[in-house]
Amino acid sequence: MAAEITSTQSVSTTNQTFIRPSTFYISGFYNIPHAKYYYVFLCFVYAVTVLGNSFIMGIIYLAHSLHTAKYIAVFNLALCDLCGSTALIPKLLDMFLFENQYISYENCLANMFFVFVFMSLESLTLLALAYDRLVAICFPLRYHAIMTKTAMTLIIAVMWIISVFIFALTVALITRLSFCRSTSVESYFCDHGPVFRLACNDNSLNVIMGILCIAILIVIPVTLITLSYLFIGFALLKMSHEVERGKAMKTCTAHLILVAIAYLPISSVYLASYVVPVNTNIRIFNTGLTQTIPPMLNPIIYTLKTEEVMQSIKVIYRRTKVNSI
């Protein structure tokens, strides 16, 4: 196992010398037989993710009936899922299927930035979709006045700005760290926590940014989504007609499934880690699936569980059939 620095760059300042490794070694699973089958499975996951998200983006672009505030957010979710999986899975396959587990210092920071930016954007987009459902069910008469395409575009733009700024700062703070001991990262990509914990000098700012990242990725979105569904629940209880209540609940089903898939596994690992030490292999397996499975399932769930999308697919199919005759 490569745990020692083989080549370093020393950056001197008036007070101290920062040692930057030329490469990091991404350790991945430790002592698990047949781990390559897991990575082969991720090849399949990535192929389905690319096809599914490209398909849902294409449908939203082509179907004028889907040019609404809600589907602007769904389009953004598909885009972030596609980009996030592309930032993570191909490099992961290259490292562990072809045993190229060394990654340069600069590529490591770039990998960290893009993986976390798209993870946070996926999380914040699920929050935006929860807000859309809250307005639709609690304020149905004012929905089209509140949830305009301009309003949703502005929400998404703010999400992008926040994500890029926070994670650019997070990655920039890694550059102030000195790595004079091990350069073996106990993860499957250049994960923020396992990287900054390798540093020899003060990493208290990185710890604070790590807490802020968890808040942006999990705590804030989960808290606000839970609150929005509590308000939705109260609104549903006030509805007098059972049919009306059923229709309203049906519009939330796809979103609730996505929320459960996205947050339950990763939240359980983070909560468990505060109570008992979590085995590195378990953490890698759990967070790996959390980052790869939801992007694959999101377009499938939105296609099969959403009536507007199914209707739009039928309309586009009929139009294509007529044009081909």
| CATH classification of the domain holding 267 | 1.20.1070.10
Q: Does residue 13 lie within any of the structural domains?
A: no
142 or 276: which leads in pLDDT: 142
Q: How many domains does the chain have?
A: 1
> Which range has the worst mean pLDDT, 9-18, 26-35, 91-100, 207-216?
9-18
Q: Which of 163, 176, 51 is nearest to 114 (CA)?
A: 163
CA distance 242 to 233: 14
pLDDT, average across residues 139-165 = 94
Higher-pLDDT residue of 81 and 261 is: 81
Residue 240 scores a pLDDT above 90: no
Average pLDDT in the chain: 86
Question: Do the domain assignments include residue 15?
Answer: no
Q: Are 70 and 20 spatial neighbours (Cβ–Cβ below 8 Å)?
A: no
Beta strands 23-26 and 184-185: pairing type?
parallel
Beta-carbon neighbour count of residue 242 at 10 Å? 8
Across 85-93, average pLDDT:
92
**Among 210, 123, 208, CA closest to 163:** 123
CA-to-CA distance for 7 and 19, rounded, in angstroms?
10
> Within a domain: residue 8?
no
Interval 43-74: pLDDT, tens: 999 999 999 999 999 999 999 889 999 999 99
The neighbour count for residue 118, using CB atoms within 10 Å, is 24
> For residue 264, how many other CB atoms are within 10 A of its CB?
11
Top pLDDT among 213 and 276 is at 213
Residue 23 has what pLDDT?
Answer: 92
In a domain, 257, yes or no: yes
pLDDT at 2 over 50: no
Domain range spanning residue 134? 20-324
